[in-house]
Amino acid sequence: MEPSQKNGPEPAVAPTAAAGPDPFDLGRTLRISGMIDWNAAEALITNLETLATVSNDPIRLVINSPGGLVACGLAIHDTILRLPVLVTTEIVGCGYSAGALIAQAGHRRLMTTHSALLLHEVTEEFNGSAGLSHLRRVVTENKARQGVIEGIFAERCKQPRRAIRSWCRDERAFGAQEALKMGLVDGIIPPAAVPEKSPTPPAKA
């Protein structure tokens, strides 16, 4: 998760209908894909708050993101926690960095069979030169952010902070089964069972 991040493709955050049966109202499905920046966070937070205002029905948040800004990830995470409705988070594709953090806010955290989740330390991107005092301040601030993030994962996953710290330091990636085992998600979404089409009987002469 990076305090600063270059501009990428505009993330998709508008409500969208999912194909096939869904336990929730299809109009209460939100998706976030691409880099999580200020615009993406503002749009998603607005949509979350709007849906929570119009109905107490559950919200489904689908995540496919390589990460983004720490502050934006924390803002979305905290918004989900204070909503008066149940929110299910689903990682479909990748939930890296800030995407993994947002997923932890779900009352139920899911990921698909072939998705991946990744943790890493807070990083900083510099443009141009920086003085020593500025560098010291950045290190202090990022250590504090890292501590907050480790605390969130440790509490939600029921893992010791030293384990979370080690995963972040190693930039550890988890497949669905391992993420479930380590408490990073609550369940795995299996492929849909599509019934075979009955053969067409031969035409009578």
90-129 pLDDT, tens digit per residue, is 999 999 999 999 999 999 999 999 999 999 998 766 666 7
Task: Kindly state the average pLDDT of the residues 12-26.
Answer: 42
Alpha carbon 116 to its chain centroid, in Å, reads 11
134 occurs within a structural domain: yes
166 occurs within a structural domain: yes
**From 32-36, 66-70, 136-140, the region with the lowest mean pLDDT:** 136-140
Residue 141 maps to which CATH number?
A: 3.90.226.10
147 occurs within a structural domain: yes
Query: Which residues form the domain of 71?
Result: 26-189
Query: Do residues 109 and 184 touch, judged by C-beta distance below 8 A?
Result: yes
pLDDT of residue 136: 84
| Mean pLDDT, the chain, integer | 86
Does residue 131 register a pLDDT over 70?
A: yes
Token reading at 8: 């990428």
121 occurs within a structural domain: yes
137: pLDDT confidence band, cut at 50, 70 and 90?
A: confident
205 occurs within a structural domain: no
79 occurs within a structural domain: yes
Name every residue whose Cβ is closer than 8 Å to that of residue 40 and which is 6 or more positions away in sequence: 10, 11, 13, 32, 34, 68, 72
133 occurs within a structural domain: yes
pTM recorded for the entire structure: 0.80
Measured CA to CA, the distance from residue 9 to residue 114 in angstroms comes to 24
22: pLDDT confidence band, cut at 50, 70 and 90?
A: very low
Count structural domains, the chain. Answer: 1
138 occurs within a structural domain: yes
Closest CA to 177 of 96, 101, 109, 112: 112
3-state secondary structure of 160: coil
